[in-house]
Amino acid sequence: MRVYAICVYLFLYMPIAIIALFSFNAGRHASQLQGFSVQWYGRALKNPFVMDALQTSLMVALVSALLASVLGTLTAIGLQGMRGPVRVIFDGIIYIAIMIPGIVIGIATLIALVTVFDQINPWLAALWPEASEAPSLSMGMGSLIAAHTMFTMALVVVIVRARLSSLERDLAEASADLYATPFGTFWQITLPLIAPAILAGFLLSFTFSFDDFIIAFFVAGSETTLPIYIFSSIRRGVTPEINAIGTMVMLASLILLIIAQLILRREHKA
Q: Is residue 3 part of a domain?
A: no
Q: How confident is the model at residue 127 (pLDDT cuts 50, 70, 90)?
A: confident
Q: Check if the beta carbon of residue 25 is closer than 8 Å to that of residue 243.
A: yes
Q: What is the pLDDT of residue 268?
A: 62
Q: Is residue 36 part of a domain?
A: no
Q: Is residue 18 part of a domain?
A: no
Which of the given ranges, 30-39, 171-180, 227-236, has the highest pLDDT on average? 227-236
User: Which long-range CB contacts under 8 A does 92-97 form with residues at least 24 apart?
Assistant: 94/154, 94/157, 94/158, 95/154, 95/158, 97/150, 97/151, 97/153, 97/154
pLDDT single digits (tens) 51-101: 898 889 889 999 999 999 999 998 888 887 777 787 788 888 888 888 888
Q: How confident is the model at residue 262 (pLDDT cuts 50, 70, 90)?
A: confident
Q: What is the pLDDT of residue 66?
A: 94
Look at 237 and 201; give whichever has higher pLDDT: 201
Q: Is residue 10 part of a domain?
A: no
Look at 25 and 208; give whichever has higher pLDDT: 208
Give the number of domains in the chain. Answer: 1
Distances from the Cα of 10 to the Cα of 16, 21, 22, 241, 252, angstroms: 10, 15, 17, 24, 21
- Sign, CA dihedral 131-137-139-145, equals positive
Look at 40 and 152; give whichever has higher pLDDT: 152
Query: Assign residue 179 a region: left if phi > 0, alpha if psi is -120 to 50, beta otherwise?
Result: left
pLDDT single digits (tens) 242-258: 888 888 888 887 887 78
Which of the given ranges, 44-53, 132-141, 261-270, has the highest pLDDT on average? 44-53
pTM for this entry: 0.80
Q: Is residue 145 part of a domain?
A: yes
Q: Is residue 5 part of a domain?
A: no
CATH number, domain with residue 259: 1.10.3720.10
Is pLDDT of 210 > 90?
no
Is pLDDT of 270 > 70?
no
Q: Is residue 126 part of a domain?
A: yes
- Host domain of residue 166: 48-269
Q: Is residue 31 part of a domain?
A: no
The length of the chain in residues reads 270
Is pLDDT of 123 > 90?
no
Q: What is the pLDDT of residue 60?
A: 92
